Amino acid sequence: MDRALIVALLCLFCSVEWQEERHKVDDEPEEEPSENWKCKLGEFNKEGKCNPMDQCPEEWNEYPRELCVDGKTYRHECDLWREKCYCAKSDSRCGGPEFGSHKPTDTIVIQYFDGCRDLAAQCDWPSEEASFHARLAMWFRDLYSQKWSVASGKSDDQSLLSPLSLKTRSSATTLFNATQFSPYGVHGGYLSFWFCEMDKNNNGNLDRSEIALLFQLLNPSTPCLNTFLSKCGSGTISFSAWNSCFKVPKAEEMPCTPFS
């Protein structure tokens, strides 16, 4: 969880953003270019309707970016959304051998970007437990600093790597200069910020899809992450449970208002 990893993740985010924009333009059928942008990856527009591609554009296969969904490894996102479209339209190819009989639903969540593996078996929790919360808190602090150093720009609600909003940026000085009492040297406001950043529907709880944003960044290289978060809540994690897991002093908790 060092700074080099954070910088690499930010660079990867910019690259993915560029690639996704490029696909919206380059992959659209010539006969209906004005309509195709409405369709997702793995789909194309035909007569005003989105239909699954028979095959993904060759460039996806040249530069595969594996991802894990429900324990099933997909070669890249295009394959995932193509398969999801098959199933949504009750196409006979849904759950076929090409996708290992997996049938994605409307509630699918990408677990992480790599081939699936048994992370629980790789987690040595007895040796990690005492310091895991502190190391993760430090990673959050450093990632916040990196986000702050990137100029405000296009925001991607589905990524934790997007630049800070102007409102959030204005609260940074207060957060950076705040007196902290945490025994591991990370002010609780950083943990409050990241809870608020992941709480996309602003209901005060992190659900499975929101927690997945963190898994997608840190897994599979942080195999004990699921073990740690599972101790914070079952299914969802509340604001108070989040702070309790990180041992944040009550005086350092910050509401989401300054960040939203």
Predicted pLDDT of residue 164? 74
Percent pLDDT > 90 in the chain is 47
So what's the pLDDT on residue 260? 67
Tell me, what DSSP letter sits at residue 203? S
Task: Examine the pLDDT at 30 and tell me if it is beyond 50.
Answer: no
Q: How far is CA 111 from CA 45, 70, 144, 145, in A?
A: 28, 7, 22, 25
Under the banding of pLDDT at 50, 70 and 90, the label for residue 254 is confident
Predicted confidence at residue 256, as pLDDT, reads: 87
Taking residues 9-20, report their average pLDDT.
42
pLDDT above 70: percentage of residues in the chain: 77
- pLDDT of amino acid 229: 96
Whether residue 17 contacts residue 154, with contact meaning beta carbons closer than 8 Å, is answered with yes
pLDDT single digits (tens) 109-121: 999 999 999 999 9
What is the identity of the amino acid at 231? K
Burial of 88 (0-12, 13-18, 19+ CB in 10 A): middle
Show the domains of the chain with their CATH numbers.
22-99 (no CATH), 120-259 (1.10.238.10)
Element (H, E) at 122: helix 119-122
How far apart CA 121 and CA 255 sit, in angstroms, is 37
How many angstroms separate the CA atoms of 162 and 98, rounded? 33
For residues 191 and 186, give the distance between their C-alpha atoms in angstroms, rounded to a whole number: 9
- More confidently predicted of 182 and 256: 256
Q: Count other C-beta atoms under 10 Å from residue 245's C-beta.
A: 19
Residue 5 has pLDDT above 90, yes or no: no
Look at 29-33, 147-151, 192-196 and tell me which has the smallest mean pLDDT.
29-33
What pLDDT, on a 0 to 100 scale, did the predictor assign at position 43? 87
Rg (CA), the chain: 20
Task: Give the per-residue pLDDT at 172.
Answer: 66
- Give the mean pLDDT of 242-250: 94
pTM of the model: 0.75
Residue 114 has what pLDDT?
A: 95
The rounded mean pLDDT for the chain is 81
- Determine the residue type at 177: N
pLDDT at 10 (0 to 100): 46
Contact 69, 108 (CB under 8 A): yes
Q: Is 247 left (phi over 0), alpha (psi -120 to 50) or beta?
A: left
pLDDT at 222 over 70: yes
**The residue type at 135:** R
User: Which one has a higher pLDDT value, 199 or 41?
Assistant: 199
pLDDT digits (tens, 9 = 90+) for 42-89: 888 888 888 889 999 888 888 778 999 999 999 999 999 999 999 999
**Do residues 42 and 85 touch, judged by C-beta distance below 8 A?**
yes
Rounded to 5 degrees, what angle do the CA atoms 207, 172, 8 make? 65
Residue 3 has a pLDDT of 52
pLDDT band at 242 (very low <50, low <70, confident <90, very high): very high
Estimate to the nearest angstrom the gap between the alpha carbon of 230 and the chain centroid.
17
**pLDDT score recorded for residue 184:** 74
Q: Enter the tokens of residue 82.
A: 């193509």
pLDDT (average), residues 148-155? 62
3-state helix, strand, coil in the chain (%, to 5): 50, 5, 45
Euclidean distance between CA atoms 201 and 41, whole angstroms: 24
Nearest to 179 by CA among 73, 251, 91: 251
Flag the least confident range among 29-43, 68-82, 98-112, 137-151: 29-43
Q: Write the CB contacts of 218 (distance below 8 Å, at least 6 apart in sequence).
A: 1, 112, 139, 225
